[in-house]
Structure 1
């Protein structure tokens, strides 16, 4: 195989990280003013991508004094078992915790980033999607701002959010009481009532 066949070309499809951001005060504070919103930016896979408030040491910066100078880093890597470019996330903040899909990361702790992840730190929520590509030496990042919290939005799309009573079925719970008794058999009783009567 000659060198020209192994080099990355402009036509290679880059792996893309789509990062959707949300903060409760985003509309009045300009927190995302330093981010390249709505545009794709290309990055070398051998350099970690850092996010924080320090413009000098971070690849991307947030305009918020409550964010750590260096909040988090995304590291690209590959494994012998997979041709895809994968990512790990690392918490760089000594004073704040970071969670990935509700798994907490302490200072300098790192974990593999799934193809879709909800990352939280402070009041920030980031929904990160990884879209596979062919290129090995670089990837692209695209930022956008979400109008509503991604955690709230995912709850709204859960098919059965109606309260489930002791029967475990929202369908049976919507039936009149006399019909439920016949379908369910004996109703549960409160044990304290049995002892007090």
Structure 2
């Protein structure tokens, strides 16, 4: 009786993965017709979630011939002495690469997912947000559609730190760094040889 009550209390706090999709042609192609958009799906923590074109072998399927039959998989895991449930992502496609916050995953390569990750494959963008819970045996998944690409709000470029006067705060700029070639002694020497100084008659000794 005590064990049953403990399990019910624990399962009340489920970790939730919010997976938000975007594709430039999603409004007219019916790409998400097989996805249970807007519903909370309860999943067992020891089973992986597969996403791809094949509705028979994948947990969630996309109606798109350009997506691999098995595109990627999400797997829950835990680390010792930590209450939080974490997730990893693995690319199952031999033809379509997957990127996670700008890091490209080739076939069978795996990466840990942070609490907020921008995942890309083909023309798809997925914003995956993890809402922490304490349950160990299961978690929830909510699939949603985004009207605009999440990459507009999620910066995956290398940040540069800009000091702010007076306050001492820092701003993160997403502008790409422009590499300007630096002149060296060799460049200066070459310039001087190509354009030797001219001397007038008055300058000659």
Aligned residues: 174
Partner of 2:162: none
Partner of 2:148: 148
- TM-score, normalising length from structure 1? 0.77
Structure 1: unaligned runs, 5 residues or longer? 167-187
Indicate how the Cα distance of structure 1 residues 2 and 106 shifts in structure 2: closer, same or farther if over 3 A, else same.
same
Query: For 1:145 and 1:52, how far apart are their aligned partners in 2?
Result: 17
2:136 alignment partner, SS class: coil
**Residue pair 2:118, 2:154 contacting (<8 A) in 1 also:** no
2:64 alignment partner, SS class: coil
Task: Write the mapping of 1:134-173 to structure 2, written as runs, cut at 5 A.
Answer: 134-154=134-154
Q: What is the deviation of 1:143?
A: 1.0
CA RMSD for the aligned pairs? 2.7
Task: Write the mapping of 1:78-93 to structure 2, written as runs, cut at 5 A.
Answer: 78-93=78-93
- TM-score, normalising length from structure 2? 0.74
What's the CA shift string for 1:53-112, capped at 9, x where partnerless? 111100000000000111000000111131111101010111111110111111111111
**Residue pair 1:8, 1:136 contacting (<8 A) in 2 also:** no
Indicate how the Cα distance of structure 1 residues 165 and 19 shifts in structure 2: closer, same or farther if over 3 A, else same.
closer
Indicate how the Cα distance of structure 1 residues 101 and 114 shifts in structure 2: closer, same or farther if over 3 A, else same.
same
2:152 alignment partner, SS class: helix
Structure 2: unaligned runs, 5 residues or longer? 156-170, 196-205
